[in-house]
Structures are given as structure tokens and as C-alpha cells.
């Protein structure tokens, strides 16, 4: 095999999922090569929403500074509007507060982003890595493997055939990619419906760039005489909040995405039975379906006739039909070949907005396992480790898919009785401030994700493992300038040498000196995946008096306290995003229920919560045994 180039991981496809896999592998020091068939990033904004979990994954690659300055902006609310009409200002029957920080990540609930810009920044991580390489204009042509390697051939930009071998091949090349369609499906990998209620619909996805009319460019526009400015007109016709239009005749979703200055607008609507998707994406049909939403009755402003937003101020960036299905593969890995993102689970219905975020969850959970498999000096059972990865992920994905389909059925029902029960039922529930608040939080009201344990899954259920470890804001106790950080950024700092990290949550009865003594006495001779010396210590405000200056200096800035919402609001981390609302600085302590020693996996899930240093030592040994 002398004529084969060699790398640890070959990634096929450099969309958001593939780029995130490469980014995290590069962070772990694992050599990888990404093959991408297109010569450059597509300029077509496809996915436009990213939830707080997805923001956290992007933050983990050191890209947080770009999220609200270049990639996108907060979606403040998501409104669910009932009725057969085209009024974007109709009162909603339900509203999600997606601009709050009331989750377990410290981030807002959802941003509307520009996918090409998101991909640009993800690729910048690959380009700056010493062990990662991106090769555009490469087309995969064959795959075969043995017990040790995956062998692939591809055509380079000039059409010349190249050969490469890797310890693992990760296919992030989408629903029609070569790896699943040509290589794995003949071996028995197949797409299956994700739940009993089969979701299969076609939607038209429309992207517009809005240019502001002005009194100079459109002097006859009637609202100028009423004192409206161009920005006010834009806000009237293209309101800030995202909307689910639960119109029984034509369900749709619409809202802004990107930066406010971009003035980008997404509108998606369902193709009815008997309609042709290609025809419905053409200008005459778009004018027929979408036009009424940007046409206001003059009576709203005390005028006669209808007021239409000027069509020549609308630039069409995209107008295409897409088929959405709730499907997932029966296996996401076979041998040394792995599927993730849309290659593993088919496009998710647009009412969930989970497409890119789901691929990110695949990537962050897969990358640390590949890091262990590629760096271990022992021969590990890679099939067991990879099966555990997608078994975990399918639990989470199936819940999201099922909830998305159920919610879609609920908000888009064609039954007048069901609509009546829905609208009045939700109205009654919201009479209670507590229940109304829970409804406004949406899925975040359920708390952090927690896996159900099955044999082989890498966490200890008896020690409360399997739950997503929350992120909060913090500041080093020894830091006189009170620089605010995200807790992930200190726990998983780039200087950390180990994949797994120990987090110590000081309790009221504990002192820093006793914790340092416990950690120093714990044995870790047989532990390669974590180091007690890298432990990050968090102290609640009630414990700060027990931390003297000498101890803080001894820990070299690794003792942190919670930061308040006011401190975060004054920090650069809050630039261009809303001041945090609903933030809970004690969330780590509440989630871990009094357990002081926490082993956290690289994907931010808890491996074990331990009551004593001896229990921590036992859990660390079990971690080592799982990957030996």
C-alpha cells in the first residue's frame, strides 16, 4: 500500500457537520483530511436556525466571538399564529421565549444564522490546524476496507485519481452522498421511518433579501405621509419574531435570519396534494401564496385600498422545493465507516429547526470517541465504541424527531375541532403564570437531556451519569479584573491535555484545602483519559470566604466563582446578544444534587457524579476499563 496516502480519519463532506468533526479532531490532535466535492462554500443559505446546544458546539471550537457579530442574531420569540388568514400581526395562541438564557447552556434559545458564514468560520478552524486539511473539488469514487484500514479513491480538481487510506472514514456527505448510497446500503444499512406516524411532505423554501424603500425611491408609497420611516416600514411588513403560521389551508413558517443589517427573510410553505413543487416555487405562485402576507389593508392605517410592500425591493436568493422526512438509518456505523448528519438521519421537518444542530450533536459525540480510538496504544473494539455512540445519539434524535412531528401535527392540524381545543386549551393553561412560563420555555423547560442507560454506553448510571452538564458564566476568584468566561471555556480550555475533565463543585461544608488534599491523595497511575491535576474548581458565593489568597495562587487561577447576570451583561461576551434573562448561576450545583466531584465527557455529558474522592477514583478506573 505504498501508493496510498495515510491519515487517521478521512471525512467526506465539508458541510457544517463534517467541518465540526474535523474541527474537534484537530483540537484533540488527531490527523484528518476532509474531501469536499464542491470547489467553495455554497452561497445559498439553507439551514437558518441554530439552537443553544448548537451554539455551545460552535463555542467549543473557539468561535463564539463570531456568532453575534458575523454569523447571525437572536430570534427573540417564536409565535404560533392560528387561523385561515395572511396577517403576520395576528395574536399568537402560543409564544416561545427564545431570546432568554433560561436553559442549561447560558446561551439564547435560538439564533437565525447565515449558513455560508457559519461554514466559513468552521473551515477557518480546519485551516488553522496543524493536523487537519481541507481539499475541495474532490469526488469520492470507491471505498473498501479490511480489519485495520478504510481504502478510498477520489478524483482531484484536475480529474486525476488519488488513493488514500484511513483508520476511519466519516461520511458527512448528505442524504445522497456516495458513502451511504453506493457503499453501505448494499451492505444492509437502510433508512427507516423514525416513528409510527410517517412524516413525508414537500415544502418550498424561499429566501429574500429586503432592500428598504425610501421616499426618494418610492415617492408614492402611502405610509410616508403618515410619518413612517423606511426602517419602520420594514418592521411592519417583515416583523422581528419568527412565526409558525398554522393555516389549515397552507401551513407555513417565516422570519428573519442573519444579522439585522442583512435584512434576510425566510418563508417556507407546504405543497398541497396535487400541486407541483417546481411550479409552486416559481414567481407567479410565490406572488399568489406569499404576496398576501406582505399586503396590508389600508384600513389598518386609516387609508383606503391595500398597501403592498414594493416588489422591486425584494431580491430572491432562493426559491426551491424540498422534501422533508423523519427518517434515520438502522446503523450509523459499519466496520470502520461511519455516517453522521444528513447521511445518517434524513432531513428533519422544518417545524423543528433541528437539522444543523442534530448534525452538530453527532459530530461532538463522535469526535472524542475517534480521538480515543486513534490515539490508543491498544487495539480497541471500535465497533462496540461506535455502536454506543449512535445508540446514545438515536435516543436523543428520536425524541427530537418525535416531538417535532407531534408538534407539527398539533400546530398544522386541519381538524377544526382539534384547532378549537388547541387554541382554547392553551389559552386556559396560560392563565396560570407558572404554566405560561413553562410553555414559553418550550423544550428547555424539561431540563437538560439525559440518556437512558444500556449496556456499553459510556457513563455510570449508578453515579448519575448520562445527563448533560450545564454551562454557566464564571470568573476566576483570583482575578481582580473580574473577566467573565463561559464555564466550558475554562473546563475544556485548549491547554488541557486530557479528554475527560474533573469538575469540583465546592459545597458549603467544604474548604478548598480539603479538596486539594483529597485530589492529591487520589491515585491515578492507571488513568490516561483524565488528570486530577487538571481539575477545575467552582465555588459558590457562600464558600468564597474559605478560599484564601495563597490557595487561589496555588491553583493558578483554576478556582472560579459564578458570575452574575449583571457581570455578564457588562462583559464582551454579551455584545450583540440580549442581556441574559432567566439565568441561574447555581445551575451546576442544582443539576449535580450535592455531588462535589464530577467527571465530564468531552461532549459535555456527565460520566459520573461522585460524593467522595474515593468514589471519584473508583469511577476513573471504570472509565479507563471502558476504553481498554
User: Mapped to the 3 state alphabet, what secondary structure does 327-396 carry?
Assistant: EEECCCEECCEEECHHHCECCCCCCCCCHHHHHHHHHHHHHHHHHHHHHCCCCCCHHHHHHHHHHHHHHH
Q: How confident is the model at residue 519 (pLDDT cuts 50, 70, 90)?
A: confident
Contact in structure between 323 and 201 (CB atoms under 8 Å): yes
Q: Which of 302, 325, 348 is the last residue of a domain?
A: 325
Q: What is the predicted pLDDT for the residue at 448?
A: 87
Whether residue 526 is predicted with pLDDT greater than 60 in this model: the reply is no
For residue 550, the model assigns a pLDDT of: 46
Domain assignment present for 426: no
- 420: its cell numbers: 378549537
C-alpha cell at 517: 488534599
Chain-wide mean pLDDT for the chain? 90
Same domain? 278 vs 215 = yes
Return the beta strands (E) in 175-311 as ranges.
Answer: 191-193, 200-210, 242-246, 252-257, 264-270, 295-297, 306-308
Q: Which three cell numbers stand for residue 387?
A: 455502536
**Is the pLDDT confidence value at 422 over 90?**
no
Q: Answer whether residue 422 is part of any domain.
A: no
- Split into its structural domains, the chain has a count of 3
Whether residue 271 has pLDDT greater than 90: yes
Q: Judge contact between 38 and 15, C-beta under 8 A.
A: no
Q: What are phi and psi of 112, to 5 degrees?
A: -100, 115
Residue 131 is assigned to a structural domain of this protein = yes
Residue pLDDT, tens place only, 75-106: 999 999 998 999 999 999 999 999 998 889 99
Q: Give residue 409's pLDDT band: very low, low, confident or very high (50, 70, 90).
A: low
Range of weakest confidence among 227-241, 320-334, 368-382: 320-334
- Cα R_g (the chain), whole angstroms: 26
Rounded Cα–Cα distance for residues 545 and 140 (Å): 61
**Percentage of the chain surpassing pLDDT 90?**
71
Q: What is the pLDDT of residue 556?
A: 57
Lowest mean pLDDT among 283-292, 362-371, 539-548: 539-548
pLDDT for 548 beyond 80: no
Lowest mean pLDDT among 53-67, 288-302, 413-427, 560-574: 413-427
Residue 423: inside a domain: no
Same-domain check for residues 561 and 523: yes
**What's the pLDDT at 346?**
67
Whether residue 97 lies inside any domain: the answer is no
Its pTM stands at 0.94
CB 510 within 8 A of CB 516: no
pLDDT band of residue 445 (cuts 50, 70, 90) is confident
Tell whether 180 and 207 lie within a shared domain.
no
Q: How far is 219 from 227, CA to CA, in rounded Å? A: 13
Distance CA 352, CA 406 (A): 10
Confidence of residue 197 (pLDDT cuts 50, 70, 90): low
Q: What percent of the chain has pLDDT over 70?
A: 92
- Among the residues of 208-347, which ranges form H helices? 230-237, 277-280, 283-290
CA distance 311 to 210: 10
**Is pLDDT of 502 > 90?**
yes
Whether residues 305 and 372 share a domain: the answer is no
Task: Supply the pLDDT for residue 446.
Answer: 80
State the pLDDT at residue 405: 65
Q: Are residues 148 and 215 in the same domain?
A: no
CATH assignment of the domain containing 585: 3.40.30
Question: 3-class SS at 257?
Answer: strand
Domain annotation covers residue 247: yes
316 SS3 class: strand
Same-domain check for residues 374 and 489: no
pLDDT at 522: 73
Contact 507, 599 (CB under 8 A): no
Is residue 70 a part of any domain in this protein?
no
Report pLDDT for 60. 97
pLDDT in tens, 456-495: 999 999 999 999 999 999 999 888 788 999 999 999 999 8
Nearest to 578 by CA among 251, 101, 170, 239: 101
Give how far Cα 348 sits from Cα of 343, 345, 427, 468, Å. 12, 8, 29, 23
For 174, the domain range is: 5-48+114-190+328-414
| Residue 157: inside a domain | yes
CATH of the domain at 396: 3.50.50.60
Contacts of 603 (CB under 8 A, 6+ apart): 364, 365, 368
pLDDT at 353 over 80: no
Examine the domain organization and report whether 126 and 228 are in the same domain: no
> What's phi and psi for 283, nearest 5 deg?
-55, -45
161-171 and 5-12 strand pairing: parallel
- pLDDT value for 518: 79
**Residue 564 and residue 503 share a domain:** yes
Same domain, 135 and 18: yes
At residue 373, the pLDDT reads 97
Query: Do 492 and 405 share a domain, yes or no?
Result: no
- Output the domain CATH number for residue 266: 3.30.9
Which pLDDT score, from 0 to 100, does residue 436 have? Answer: 87
Which range is least confidently modeled, 16-30, 215-229, 389-403?
389-403
- As a whole number, mean pLDDT of residues 560-579 equals 95
Amino acid at each position: 500500500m505504498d501508493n496510498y496516502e495515510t491519515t487517521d480519519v478521512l471525512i467526506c463532506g465539508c458541510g457544517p457537520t463534517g467541518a465540526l468533526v474535523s474541527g474537534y479532531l484537530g483540537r484533540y490532535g488527531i490527523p484528518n483530511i476532509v474531501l469536499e466535492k464542491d470547489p467553495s462554500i455554497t452561497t445559498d443559505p439553507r439551514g437558518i436556525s441554530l439552537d443553544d446546544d448548537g451554539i455551545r458546539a460552535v463555542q467549543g471550537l473557539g468561535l463564539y466571538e463570531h456568532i453575534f457579530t458575523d454569523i447571525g442574531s437572536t430570534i427573540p420569540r417564536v409565535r404560533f399564529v392560528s387561523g385561515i388568514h395572511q396577517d403576520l400581526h395576528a395574536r399568537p395562541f402560543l409564544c416561545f421565549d427564545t431570546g432568554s438564557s433560561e436553559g442549561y447552556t447560558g446561551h439564547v434559545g435560538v439564533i437565525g444564522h447565515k449558513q455560508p458564514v457559519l461554514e466559513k468560520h468552521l473551515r477557518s478552524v480546519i485551516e488553522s490546524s496543524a493536523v487537519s486539511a481541507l481539499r475541495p473539488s474532490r469526488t469520492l469514487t470507491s471505498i473498501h476496507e479490511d480489519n485495520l484500514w478504510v481504502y478510498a479513491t477520489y478524483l482531484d480538481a484536475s480529474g486525476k485519481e488519488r488513493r488514500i487510506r484511513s483508520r476511519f472514514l466519516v461520511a458527512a456527505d448528505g442524504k445522497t452522498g456516495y458513502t451511504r448510497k453506493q457503499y453501505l446500503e448494499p451492505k444492509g444499512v437502510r433508512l427507516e421511518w423514525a416513528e409510527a406516524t410517517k412524516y413525508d411532505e414537500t415544502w418550498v423554501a424561499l429566501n429574500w433579501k429586503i432592500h428598504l424603500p425610501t421616499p426618494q425611491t418610492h415617492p408614492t408609497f402611502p405610509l410616508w405621509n403618515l410619518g413612517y420611516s423606511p426602517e419602520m416600514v420594514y418592521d411592519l411588513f417583515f416583523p422581528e419574531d419568527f412565526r409558525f403560521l398554522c393555516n389549515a389551508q397552507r401551513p407555513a413558517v417565516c422570519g428573519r435570519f442573519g444579522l439585522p443589517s442583512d435584512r434576510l427573510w425566510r418563508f417556507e410553505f407546504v405543497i398541497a396534494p396535487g400541486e407541483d413543487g417546481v411550479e409552486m416555487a416559481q414567481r407567479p405562485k410565490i406572488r399568489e401564496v406569499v404576496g398576501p402576507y406582505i399586503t396590508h389593508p389600508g384600513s389598518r392605517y386609516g387609508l383606503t385600498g391595500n398597501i403592498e410592500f414594493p416588489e422591486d425591493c425584494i431580491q430572491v436568493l432562493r426559491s426551491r422545493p424540498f422534501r422533508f422526512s423523519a427518517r434515520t438509518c438502522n446503523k450509523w456505523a459499519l466496520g470502520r465507516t461511519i455516517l453522521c448528519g444528513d447521511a445518517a438521519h434524513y432531513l428533519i421537518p422544518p417545524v423543528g429547526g433541528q437539522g444543523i444542530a442534530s448534525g452538530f450533536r453527532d459530530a461532538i459525540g463522535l469526535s472524542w470517541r475517534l480521538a480515543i480510538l486513534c490515539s490508543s496504544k491498544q487495539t480497541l473494539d471500535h465497533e462496540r465504541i461506535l455502536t454506543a455512540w449512535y445508540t446514545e445519539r438515536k435516543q436523543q434524535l428520536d425524541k427530537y424527531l418525535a416531538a417535532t412531528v407531534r408538534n407539527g401535527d398539533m400546530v398544522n392540524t386541519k381538524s377544526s375541532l382539534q384547532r378549537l381545543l388547541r387554541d382554547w386549551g392553551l389559552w386556559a393553561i396560560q392563565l396560570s403564570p407558572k404554566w405560561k412560563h413553562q410553555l414559553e420555555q418550550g423544550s428547555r423547560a424539561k431540563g437538560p437531556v439525559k440518556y437512558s442507560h444500556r449496556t456499553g454506553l459510556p457513563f455510570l448510571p449508578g453515579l448519575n451519569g448520562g445527563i448533560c452538564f450545564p454551562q454557566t458564566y464564571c470568573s476566576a476568584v483570583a482575578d481582580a479584573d473580574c473577566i467573565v468566561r463561559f464555564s466550558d471555556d475554562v473546563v475544556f480550555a485548549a491547554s488541557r491535555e486530557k479528554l475527560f475533565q474533573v469538575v469540583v463543585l465546592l459545597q458549603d461544608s467544604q474548604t478548598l484545602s480539603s479538596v486539594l488534599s483529597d485530589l492529591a491523595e487520589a491515585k491515578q497511575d492507571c488513568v490516561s483519559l483524565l488528570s486530577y491535576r487538571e481539575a477545575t474548581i467552582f465555588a459558590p458565593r457562600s464558600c468564597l470566604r474559605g478560599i484564601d489568597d495563597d490557595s487561589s495562587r496555588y491553583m493558578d487561577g483554576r478556582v472560579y466563582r459564578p458570575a452574575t447576570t449583571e457581570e455578564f451583561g457588562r462583559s464582551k461576551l454579551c455584545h450583540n446578544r440580549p442581556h441574559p434573562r432567566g439565568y441561574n448561576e447555581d445551575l451546576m450545583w442544582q443539576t449535580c444534587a450535592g455531588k462535589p466531584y464530577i467527571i465530564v465527557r468531552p461532549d459535555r455529558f456527565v460520566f459520573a457524579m461522585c460524593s467522595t474522592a474515593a468514589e471519584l477514583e473508583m469511577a476513573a478506573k471504570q472509565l479507563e476499563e471502558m476504553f481498554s
